[in-house]
Amino acid sequence: MKPFSTPDEELLLWEHVELIAELSQCLPASHPSICQHSHLNKYRTITGLCNNRQNPLWGAANTPLVRWLPAEYEDREREPKGWNRGRLHNGFQLPSPREVSKKILRTSSKGNDDVYSQLLVEWGQYIDHDITFTPQSSGSAAFWTGVDCLTTCEYMHPCFPIETGDIISGAQGCMPFFRSLPACFVNSGSDIEQALQRQQLNAITSFMDASVVYGHNPKMGSFLRDLSGLNGKLAINEQFTDPKGRPYLPFVATLPSACLQDPQGQRVECFSAGDSRVNEGLPLSALHTLWLREHNRIAEALKHINGHWSPETIYQETRKIIGALHQIITMRDYLPKIIGPESFEHYIGPYWGYDPTTDPSASNVFATAAFRFGHATISPILRRLNESFQEHEHFPHLRLHNTFFSPWRIVKEGGIEPILRGIIGTAAPAVSADMVLTEELTEKLVVLNVPQHMDLASLNLQRGRDHALPGYNDWRSFCGLKSIKTLDDFKEVVSDYKVAEKIFEIYKHPNNIDVWLGGLVENLLPGARTGPLFACLIGKQMKALRDGDRFWWEAEGMFTQQQKTELLKASLSRIICDNSDIKEVHPDSFRFSKYPCGYISCDHIPSIDLEAWRQEKSQDLEKCGTPRKIKNGDFILSSTSGKLVALYSCYHGFKLRGASSIVCERNQWSDQPPQCTVNRQ
C-alpha cells in the first residue's frame, strides 16, 4: 500500500475544493485559470495571489514559509529540538533557552549609537510586519486532552513550554509557549518527506506591498476602507482626533478590546490597521497612523486632479503609490544601513527587472531568526520630546513595558508627535555582543492574554527550535562563510571573548548553537548593524522580494518615467512633515544628530508632485461616458487590445451577477453593468 495518496481530482468539483479550503482556512491549490483575469494585470491582489502567473501561490498570504535548508525535527516530522528531554545533539543536551537568555543575552544597560536614530529600529519592526507574520496555535493542547498551554509544563502539541527552573535554587517552573500553527500542504510537487513534515505559515503576503496598511484578505481590506465616502480613502477613527483635528486609526470591530487602559480616563480601544500587531508599541502605532494619513492625503489630491476617476481607481492608485514608497524607503534608505553598503552590493545589487523564476516567498530563517536581529537594538526607554526636542513637560519618558498595548497614550497624551520626535531625536541603542537584549524585554515583556511577564530572548530561541531551523554553523556554510569548529574560530567572529567562551561553555558543541544567537553576537560589518551571517540572509531575502515581485515599483509598466522621478523625491522625513505637526526634521530621519544640528524646515524637504498622475479623459471615455456606478461594488477602467474596458468588482460579502467587464464600442457601453448581490455562502 502506498504511504500517501491523493484522491482523483475529478471526484471533487472546484467549488467544493474552495469551500473545504475556506472551512479549513487553507488556500485551495490554485485553479489553473485563476490568474487569467485582465484586472489582475493592473493592480496587485490584496492576498498576493497571482503575482506570479505560473506559480500563483508564491508570496501569497497563508502559504508556508519557504525553507532554504531542510528542517531539523527530532523525529524528522514535527517534534522540535529539545522536545525529547534526554536526546543528545552532537553528544550533548541542548541548553534551555531561558538559561541562554539569562547567562548571555540579558543586559541592564544599553550604550548609544551616534550615527542612527531610534527610527531605524522602529522602521525595522514596521517593515517586518509588512513581510511576515507567523500565527500561533490557540490556547489549549489537542482538544481531547484539554490541557491549557498557559498552565502546563508538559510538552504536548501545541504546547512547548520554556523551562525556567531557577538555575541556582533548582526550583521548577516554566513560561508558556504556543507552537506556530502548522501550514497547509499546498504543493503537490513536493517530495513525500517534506509533505509529511510540519511547515510553518506566513499568514500575510511576503511582498513589500504595504499590506501593513491595507490588510491581506478581502474582508480586512473592506473593513479598513471608507466605502461609504466614495472617495477612495481609508476609514478613520470616529471617536477621537488629534489636537489639530488630524485622524487616528479606527478602533477594532470587536469590543471591548484587550488593550490596556488609562487608569483615570474614558476607554480607548485597540487601534485597527492592516496588521494586527499595530498596538504592540507606541512608535509602531505612530508609524501606522502616519501611513493612514498619507493614504488619505494622496487620495484626496488624486481625486482633485482626476475628477473622472472612480473611487476604486483612486484607492488602487493610491495603494500603488504607498506600496512604492514602502519599497523605496526600505531598499534605498533603510537596508544599506543595516547590512552595510558592501553586502548590499554583493547580495542585492542593481535591479534588472522582474524575474518570474524568483520565488519571493518569505523564508523561515529570515522570519524566525535573521530579521529578529532588531530585538537587540530596542531601547529600554521611550523618550517623548516637545517642539524643542527636549523632554516633554507634560508627558515624561516611559519605560518600555509601559508602552505595550497602550493606544490610550497616543489619544490622551499629545498625539503621535511627542513619540515621533522621541524616535527621530534619540540615538539608536548600540549593538554589541556583551549588551544584547534589555531587561525590559527579557524580564517584563507583555504578551496580551498571557498573565505573566515573558522573555523575548527565550521566545526567539524556542521559536527557532519550534520551526526546526538548522543551527548556526549550517547557515554559515549556506552563506559560504567559514564553519566554526573551535573556540578560537568563534573568537575570530565574536569580538567579545568572554561572550564567545560563555556560549561554548553552555552549548558544549559549536553545531548546537542556535542560529539567532550566533548571528546576533557576530562582529558588525563596516557601516552595518549586522554581522556577515545576517547580512547574507537578509540580503538574499530582500533581493528575492524585489526581483520576484511583478508589481515592484521599478518593474516595466508600473509607473511612467515622470512618476518614477517624482517617487524618488519621497522620504520618511517628508511623510512625517505632511502628516504631523512636526515642522523641522533631518533630511534623512534615520540618521541621528542632536537638535537643532542638521535639522531643516519642512519647507525645504522635497515632496512628490502628484501632477505626474494626471490622466486626461480618453476619447473613448468622452464618447461612451462614465460607466454606471453600481451598489456595493465599483469599477476600474483598463485598456485591453486597444479598447476601453470597465472592469467591475463587488465589495467583500457580495457576489457579482452579470458581466464583470463591459467594453466601449461604437460610442456606447456593450452591456448593462452587473449587480452585486449578498453572498449567502
Which has the higher per-residue pLDDT, 443 or 74?
A: 74
Nearest-10 crossing angle of helices 572-579, 282-305: 80
Angle 469-472-478 (CA atoms, 0-180°, nearest 5)?
85
Residue-range domain boundaries for the chain: 60-113+133-203+435-531, 211-431+544-610, 619-678
Eight-state DSSP code of residue 375: G
Torsion of CA 415, 420, 421, 424, to 10 degrees: 180
The residues, ordered by sequence, that sit 6+ positions from 302 with a Cβ below 8 Å of its Cβ are 232, 309, 314, 317, 318, 610, 613
> What confidence category does residue 191 fall into, taking pLDDT thresholds of 50, 70 and 90?
low
pLDDT at 245: 96
Q: What is the pLDDT of residue 114?
A: 78
Q: Which residues of 76-86 are buried (b: 16+ CB within 10 A; e: fewer)?
A: eebbbbbbeee
Whether pLDDT at 622 is above 80:
yes
The answer to whether residue 7 scores a pLDDT higher than 80 is no
Q: Whole-angstrom distance between the N-terminal and C-terminal Cα of the chain? A: 38
Query: Cα separation of 327 and 316, whole Å?
Result: 17
Give residue 185's pLDDT band: very low, low, confident or very high (50, 70, 90).
low
Alpha-carbon 474 to chain mean position: 26
| DSSP β-bridge partners for residue 159 | 156, 178
Considering only 29-33, 320-324, 502-506, 640-644, which range has the smallest mean pLDDT?
29-33
Q: What percent of the chain has pLDDT over 70?
A: 87
pTM of the prediction?
0.93
Whether the domain at 211-431+544-610 and the domain at 619-678 fall into the same CATH topology: no
Strand, coil or helix: 366? helix
Q: By three-state DSSP, how is residue 635 classified?
A: strand
Q: How many CB atoms neighbour CB 652 within 10 A?
A: 16
Q: Which pLDDT band holds residue 107 (cuts at 50, 70, 90)?
A: low
Of 9-13, 165-169, 181-185, the range with the lowest mean pLDDT is 9-13
Name which of 141-150, 260-269, 513-522, 527-536 the model is least confident about.
141-150
> How much is the mean pLDDT over the chain?
89
Q: Running DSSP on this structure, what letter comes out for residue 53?
A: S
What's the CATH fold of domain 619-678?
Complement Module; domain 1 (2.10.70)
Q: What number is the average pLDDT over the span 34-60?
A: 86
**Mean pLDDT of all residues in 235-257:** 96
- Is 656 in a helix, a strand, or coil? strand
- From CA 54, how far away is CA 358, in angstroms rounded? 11
Give Cα 511 distance to the centre of its chain.
Answer: 30
Which of these is catalytic: 39, 89, 129, 295?
129
Q: Rounded to an integer, what distance in angstroms lies between the CA atom of residue 642 and that of residue 144?
A: 61
pLDDT on residue 138: 72
Distance separating alpha carbons of residues 103 and 115, to the nearest angstrom: 29
Q: Is 489 exposed, middle or buried (0-12, 13-18, 19+ CB in 10 A)?
A: middle
- Given a cut of 50, is residue 20 above it in pLDDT? no
Using alpha carbons, select from 396, 355, 384, 379 the residue that is nearest to residue 439.
379
Q: 578 pLDDT exceeds 80?
A: yes
Cell numbers placing 675:
449587480
User: Cβ contacts of residue 286 below 8 Å, gap of 6+?
Assistant: 410, 416, 419, 420, 423
| Least confident piece of the model among 79-83, 192-196, 307-311, 527-531 | 192-196
Q: Supply φ then ψ for residue 671, to 5 degrees.
A: -155, 170
596 pLDDT more than 50: yes
Contact (Cβ atoms closer than 8 angstroms) between residue 656 and residue 674: yes
Give every CB contact of residue 23 below 8 A, 6+ residues apart in sequence: none
Helices (H), 231-310: 282-305
- Report the distance separating Cα 270 and Cα 259, nearest Å: 5
The residue assigned the cell 549586522 is: 530
CATH superfamily, with its number, for domain 60-113+133-203+435-531: Haem peroxidase domain superfamily, animal type (1.10.640.10)
Rounded Cα distance, 460 and 101, in Å:
10
pLDDT of residue 341 exceeding 50, the answer is yes
* pLDDT score for 30: 52
User: Distance of CA 323 to CAs 37, 336, 568, 608, 671, Å?
Assistant: 22, 19, 13, 15, 34
Q: Which of 40-44, 193-197, 267-271, 600-604 has the lowest mean pLDDT?
A: 193-197
pLDDT beyond 70 at 665: yes
Residues 446, 451, 455, 459, CA torsion sign: negative
39 is catalytic: no
With respect to CATH, is domain 211-431+544-610 assigned 3.40.30.10? no
What are the grid coordinates assigned to 425, written together? 531625536
**Local structure of residue 347 (DSSP, 8 states):** I
Residues 54-80: what's their mean pLDDT? 95
